[in-house]
Amino acid sequence: MDNRQISELRADTPGCSEVLHFNNAGAALQPKPVFDAVIEHLQLEYNIGGYEAKAKAQEKLDYFYTAFASLLNARPEEIAYAENATRAWDMAFYAIPFSAGDRILTSQAEYASNYMAYLQVARRFAVKIEVVGNDESGQICVEQLEQAIESDVKLISISHIPTQGGLVNPAAEVGKVARKYNILYLLDACQSVGQMPLDVQEIGCSMLTGTGRKYLRGPRGTGFLYIKHSILGQLDPPFVDLHSANWIDHERFELRPDTKRFENWECFFAGKIGLAIAVDYALKIGLPTIRDRVWDLADHFRNRLRLLPGITVQDQGIEKCGIVTFTKTDETASTITARLLAGGINTSVATADSARLDMGARGLQEMVRASVHYYNTVEEIERFLDALIDPKN
């Protein structure tokens, strides 16, 4: 990605002239085509009515499935729209028919919402949760994962990129284990989609979920779900409506034959259109190009942070992404984030309550999470570092 292209992408992102945005793992700045697509449909609803606007935009709404199929190397009928990543993940997870004694294998770095769902299912159905240990780099140990496989393992479920750092778990290696033993594999790709290539065939996952607002640069209140067509018959959606199923007679209903059986009738149609545009935007740049740019920036960022007194970079893993986390000896993460925000620099705080197994084991309560995207620059990193070490900023 050369300087000319970066300048064009920044010009297409008006937020770049307003703030220094290192909170892309929270919500990235939207490019103008995404914003325009959302506003255009909202204006249409405003002018002619919601139902009528939906009918007029049906081709754009249908394109959502084609866009995500291209992004993930899937089939359009394997894609569903969801109002957010959590609901997409829940629809997949709670559709699994757990029984007493079943085991769920997960990782040390698992996200709080996912782990609480495991705990709820464990309480309801006497399911067992087993946390697979990390290897020496801090990523899930694939060897330990395979050693944990027995006939009672119902599900392998991990976060590809955890919310609390730059770690990239070896999703495809986990997928090889899942396929070898014919075990359902649910991958939370909330932080990875949009910042690296995702190929569900290569990864070998049964189900994959993600959000629109983070590295895809889509609207808030949007998400998606991929479910491999061959496993649909093993799953029972946790709830249905007249979109996900047909009411045959007073005693029977019939689920849709595709992954749309996990959707709701009502949704954020403007957001759905905007998210498809965001996918096209990323595909036009190229996911390998995006990954290389984002990860090179993050590597430079980490290397510069390590030179500063009192700063400890906390990212783990063999492969590290665009999320950079660190602590400072004389200032809390919350204080740093608030101070930087007052100066027009956006970051966030990774807290132990979102990743208790991981951060608790490392004795961490909170870290600054500064996440870069391809439209960020080395000059912004230098500005960030100057502000970080100057308590007046």
Q: Whole-model pTM above 0.85?
A: yes
The answer to whether 132 and 327 have CB atoms below 8 angstroms apart is no
pLDDT tens digit sequence for 156-207: 999 999 999 999 999 999 999 999 999 999 999 999 999 999 999 999 999 9
Distance CA 336, CA 349 (A): 9
Sequence ranges of the chain with CATH classification 3.40.640.10 = 34-284
Q: Which pLDDT score is estimated for 141?
A: 98
Distance CA 75, CA 84 (A): 21
Q: Which pLDDT score is estimated for 299?
A: 98
pLDDT tens digit sequence for 298-338: 999 999 999 999 999 999 999 999 999 999 999 999 999 99
Q: Which pLDDT score is estimated for 1?
A: 87
The answer to whether 312 and 305 have CB atoms below 8 angstroms apart is no
Q: What is the mean pLDDT of the chain?
A: 97
The average pLDDT across 62-77 equals 98
The answer to whether 363 and 327 have CB atoms below 8 angstroms apart is no
CATH class label, 3-29+286-389: alpha beta
% of the chain beyond a pLDDT of 90: 99
Kindly indicate the confidence band of residue 258, based on its pLDDT and cuts at 50, 70 and 90.
very high
pLDDT tens digit sequence for 259-292: 999 999 999 999 999 999 999 999 999 999 999 9
Kindly indicate the confidence band of residue 393, based on its pLDDT and cuts at 50, 70 and 90.
low
Sequence ranges of the chain with CATH classification 3.90.1150.10 = 3-29+286-389
The answer to whether 265 and 241 have CB atoms below 8 angstroms apart is yes
Say if residue 317 is exposed, middle or buried (CB neighbours under 10 Å; 0-12, 13-18, 19+): buried
% of the chain beyond a pLDDT of 70: 99
pLDDT tops 80 at residue 391:
no
Q: What type of residue is 252?
A: R
The answer to whether 225 and 87 have CB atoms below 8 angstroms apart is no
Q: Which pLDDT score is estimated for 390?
A: 83
pLDDT tops 80 at residue 226:
yes
Helices within the chain (DSSP H only): 3-11, 32-48, 50-56, 58-72, 85-93, 112-125, 142-147, 171-180, 200-203, 269-285, 287-305, 333-342, 356-361, 378-389
Distance CA 31, CA 295 (A): 20
The answer to whether 314 and 165 have CB atoms below 8 angstroms apart is yes
* Beta-ladder partners of 130: 105
Options 3.40.50.970, 1.20.140.10, 3.40.640.10, 1.10.10.60; CATH for 34-284 is: 3.40.640.10
Q: Which pLDDT score is estimated for 378?
A: 98
Structure tokens at 349: 């705080």
The alpha carbon of residue 165 and the mean position of all alpha carbons in its chain are separated, in whole angstroms, by 13
pLDDT tops 70 at residue 113:
yes
